[in-house]
Every structure is written in C-alpha cells, then in structure tokens.
Amino acid sequence: MINETDRRLSACLVLLRLGVGLVMLVWSFDKILNPSHGGAVLESFYGIAGAGGSVIRAIGILQGLIVLAFLVGFARTWTYGAVLAMHGTTTLISWSAYLEPLKNILFFAAWPMLAACVTLFVLRDHDRIASLSGVGRSRGPTG
C-alpha cells in the first residue's frame, strides 16, 4: 500500500523527470535539426572542431532515444544515469561562463537542473508515476 507521502514524492519526481526530459529533448532536436549549432557548441565548449552534420545528427538521435527512454521511466538506473552524465558534463564543461555571471546569466539555470538530475537518480526507485514499472527497474537501493 502506498501512503500519501510516497504518492506526493512520486508526483514530484515525475514532474522533475518531465521538466528535465523536455529540456534534454529540445537539445536533441537542436542537434538533429540544426547540426551547425551543435558543431559550434562542440567546438567552442569541448574543443572538438570539424564534426560533420551527420555526426552531430547521429549524436542528437542517440541522445533523443536515451531521453525518450528516460521520459517513460525505462531502465531507470541506466537512463537516469545517462541523463545525469550528459547534463553534468555540459554543466561542468561550461565553467568559464560562470566566471562572468552577469554576462552569462542563463548558464546558471544548469545548476538547478543538475540538482534535479541528481535527485532523480538517487530517488529513481520512488519515481513510479507514468513509468514503465518493473522494466529495467533497479534491483535495490544501489541500483
């Protein structure tokens, strides 16, 4: 039997999942539909120049598939971990933007989203609403 606190926690987690998933899905679509922007991001933040449009699109498609699995709660340990790793990497790689906070204020929105990703990963077994229950489900508290 699920108590009221568990229901509320699960409802909050699904809202976090949908919010994070929406942002990540838009980033995926950006790579697929506007690969030149994705290439510019790879070059300016990751120092990787010359990635072709087909490579950027493939990255966007792979990211999109992972995000869709995340959105439906499939294989939570793996997909929530992958989303955390993707967003954590982009947040940390942008360290220079944080040195001029008033010039790059939107970059700071990455930190609460990173906190949401960590929360979702840590509490993934409690995220039961609109989730593919039992499919790819963690085997215990350590996942």
The pLDDT tens digits for 116-137 are 999 999 999 998 887 775 544 4
pLDDT (0 to 100) of residue 140: 46
The whole-number average pLDDT for the span 63-88 is 96
Q: pTM to 2 decimals?
A: 0.86
Mean pLDDT of the chain: 89
Separation of alpha carbons 29 and 108, rounded Å = 22
Tell me the C-alpha distance between 65 and 60, whole Å: 9
Q: Is the pLDDT of residue 1 over 90?
A: no
Whole-number percent of the chain with pLDDT over 90: 71
Q: What percent of the chain lies above the pLDDT cut of 70?
A: 90
Amino acid at 81: G
- Dihedral sign of CA atoms 36, 21, 114, 73 in order: negative
pLDDT at site 133: 52
